[in-house]
C-alpha cells in the first residue's frame, strides 16, 4: 500500500537545500507523532526503513543553483510513502486528516491532497522501474559504512534478495529462505542504454546507484513485500523505491509506401493540379512530343 501526499509551498519564493530528501524522515516521524493511534509511539522509535519506504518528487522540475533548489507557489512536492503494514498507512492517514500545513526546512507547505493507492495484483513475474536510485550493499567485517556493489557484480542482486528474505522473516516470523525470488535487469533496456547508473550522495559520500527497469519473479508474497519495502539499502533516506510497470502498447503504423501521384499534390496556393491544369505555352507546344 502507498500514500501520495501533495504539498504546495505557501510563499512565492522558497530556497531549499538539494538534500531535502534526507530530512523527509523527520517529517514522517512528526506526522506519526500527531496520530492518536496507541501504536504510533512504537513507530516513532523505529528506523524508517524498517516499516516504510518513501520518494520525493518536485514538479515541474526546479532550477538548482549552488546546491539550492528555487521553488515557488506554482511548484508541488509529491511525497510517496509505501509500506507493507496497513497499520502504518492508517496512522499516517489519521494524522494527515488533522493537519493542514507542515514545515520542511523552515518552509511552510500546505497539504493539498492525500491519495491512497492499493497494491496492484501480483503475478509470478512483474516488470518494475525505480522511482528513486537503487543501491546494493552490505556492512562487512564490523565496518561503520556499507560496502557497495557495482551493478554488474554477481552479488548485486544476490545480496538484495537475501536482505528481502531476512526482513520478511523478522517481520512476519516465517522462514522464506527456500522460497523462490529472482531479480534481473531488463535486457532490452540494457541493449539500448550505454549507462544505467548515476552518482548519488549517501551520508556525504558519493556512490553510484542504478536507474534501470527490472523484472522480479518468484513467490507472489515476496514480490508484493518487495514492492512495498523497496530494493537495496539506504532506503531510510529515500533510495530504493520501485513500482510495477506495464509498458504502453505501441500503435501499429502502416509503413507501406504509397505510390505518389503528382496530380494529387497541391500547388503553393493549396490548389490541386487536376482542378487547375497548367496552360500549354504556345512557344513550347509540341516541344516534348
Average pLDDT score over residue span 239-266 = 63
Q: Is residue 263 part of a domain?
A: no
Same domain, residue pair 164 and 104: no
Residues 85, 152 within the same domain: no
Among 69, 85, 118, the domain-final residue is 118
**Which of residues 149 and 278 earns the better pLDDT score?**
149
Does residue 143 belong to any structural domain of this protein? yes
Q: In this predicted model, what pLDDT tens digit does every residue of 184-212 receive, in sequence order?
A: 999 989 988 888 998 888 878 889 999 99
Q: Which residues contact 255 (CB under 8 A, 6 or more apart)?
A: none
**What pLDDT sits at residue 284?**
44
Claim to verify: residue 102 and residue 148 sit in the same structural domain: no
- Do residues 168 and 61 share a domain? no
Task: For residue 27, give every residue at least 6 positions away whose Cβ sits within 8 Å of its Cβ, in sequence order, or none.
Answer: 79, 102, 104
111 plus 192 within the same structural domain: no
Of 73, 95, 118, the position where a domain reaches its end is 118
Residues 55, 78 within the same domain: yes
User: Would you say residue 256 lies in a domain?
Assistant: no
Q: What percent of the chain has pLDDT over 90?
A: 47
Last residue of a domain, one of 100, 118, 136: 118
What confidence tier does 288 reach under pLDDT thresholds 50, 70, 90? very low
Per-residue pLDDT tens digits for 170-183: 999 999 988 999 99
d(CA 256, CA 249): 21
Confidence grade of residue 247 (pLDDT, cut at 50, 70, 90): low
Q: Please say if the pLDDT value at position 91 is more than 90.
A: yes
Structure confidence by residue, pLDDT tens digits, 31-69:
999 998 888 888 888 888 889 999 999 888 887 887 788
CB atoms within 10 A of CB 65: 10
Do 129 and 239 sit in the same domain of this protein? yes
CA atoms within 13 A on the CB side of 53: 26
Listed range (12-16, 108-112, 156-160, 224-228) with the worst mean pLDDT: 12-16
Q: Does residue 14 have a pLDDT over 80?
A: no
Query: Is 278 a member of any domain?
Result: no
**Number of domains making up the chain:** 2
Residue 128 and residue 113 share a domain: no
Q: Is residue 254 part of a domain?
A: no
Residue 267: inside a domain = no
Q: Tell me, yes or no, whether 239 and 132 share the same domain.
A: yes
CATH number, position 134? 3.30.70.1900
pLDDT at 15 over 60: yes
Q: Are residues 157 and 63 in the same domain?
A: no
Is the peptide bond prior to 153 cis by the omega test (within 30 degrees of 0)?
no
Average pLDDT, the chain: 83
Residue range of the domain that includes 101: 1-118
All three cell numbers of 14, joined, read 522558497
In a domain, 262, yes or no: no
Amino acid at each position: 500500500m502507498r500514500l501520495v501526499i501533495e504539498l504546495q509551498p505557501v510563499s512565492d519564493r522558497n530556497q531549499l537545500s538539494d538534500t531535502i530528501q534526507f530530512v523527509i524522515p523527520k517529517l514522517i516521524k512528526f506526522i506519526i507523532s500527531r496520530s492518536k493511534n496507541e501504536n504510533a509511539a512504537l513507530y516513532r522509535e523505529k528506523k524508517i526503513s524498517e516499516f516504510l519506504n518513501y520518494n520525493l518528487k518536485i514538479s515541474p522540475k526546479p532550477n538548482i543553483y549552488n546546491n539550492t533548489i528555487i521553488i515557488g507557489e506554482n511548484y508541488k512536492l509529491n511525497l510517496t510513502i509505501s509500506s507493507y503494514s496497513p497499520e502504518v498507512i492508517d496512522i499516517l492517514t489519521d494524522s494527515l486528516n488533522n493537519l493542514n500545513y507542515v514545515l520542511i526546512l523552515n518552509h511552510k507547505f500546505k497539504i493539498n491532497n492525500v491519495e491512497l493507492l492499493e497494491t496492484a495484483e501480483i503475478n509470478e513475474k512483474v516488470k518494475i522501474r525505480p522511482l528513486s536510485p537503487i543501491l546494493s550493499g552490505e556492512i562487512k567485517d564490523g565496518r561503520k559504512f556499507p560496502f557497495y556493489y557495482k551493478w554488474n557484480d554477481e552479488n548485486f542482486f544476490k545480496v538484495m534478495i537475501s536482505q528481502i528474505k531476512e526482513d520478511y522473516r523478522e517481520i512476519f516470523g516465517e522462514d522464506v529462505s527456500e522460497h523462490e525470488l529472482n531479480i534481473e535487469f531488463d535486457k532490452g533496456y540494457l541493449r539500448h542504454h550505454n549507462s544505467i547508473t548515476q552518482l548519488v550522495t549517501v551520508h556525504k559520500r558519493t556512490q553510484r546507484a542504478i536507474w534501470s527497469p527490472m523484472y522480479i519473479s518468484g513467490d507472489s508474497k515476496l514480490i508484493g513485500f518487495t514492492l512495498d519495502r523497496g530494493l537495496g539499502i539506504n532506503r531510510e533516506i529515500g533510495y530504493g523505491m520501485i513500482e510495477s510497470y506495464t509498458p504502453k502498447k505501441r500503435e501499429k503504423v502502416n509503413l507501406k509506401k504509397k505510390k505518389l501521384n503528382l496530380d494529387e499534390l497541391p500547388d503553393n496556393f493549396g490548389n490541386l493540379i487536376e482542378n487547375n491544369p497548367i496552360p500549354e505555352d504556345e512557344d513550347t507546344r509540341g516541344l516534348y512530343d
